[in-house]
Amino acid sequence: MTANASASAESFKTVDQLIDCVLQRHFGIDPRELPVVGAFEIDQSTQFPGTEQKYRNYYLLLRVNAVFGGCCVEAEQLEQVAARELVGQSLAALLEDARLPVRVAALDAYLGVVLPHRDDHRARELELPYGTPFTRAVARDKAIVSLLAIEPDQAVGLIGVVNPIVQAIEARGARCLPCDFNMQRTAGGLVVQRDMRPVLEQADFIIATGMTLSNGSFDEILAAARRRNIPLVVYAQTGSAIVPRFLGQGVSAVSAEPFPYSQFSADPTAIYLYRAANP
Q: Block means of pLDDT (10 residues each) for the chain, length 279 residues?
A: 42 91 94 96 83 81 96 79 88 96 96 96 95 88 87 94 87 93 85 94 96 95 96 96 95 95 91 87
What stretch(es) of the chain map to CATH 3.30.390?
A: 3-118
Nearest Cα to Cα of residue 236 among 187, 273, 193: 273
What stretch(es) of the chain map to CATH 3.40.50.11590?
A: 121-275
121-275: CATH topology is Rossmann fold (3.40.50)
Per-residue pLDDT, 208: 96
Per-residue pLDDT, 2: 42
Per-residue pLDDT, 73: 86
Per-residue pLDDT, 168: 87
Per-residue pLDDT, 4: 41
Per-residue pLDDT, 8: 43
Q: Which CATH architecture has domain 3-118?
A: 2-Layer Sandwich (3.30)
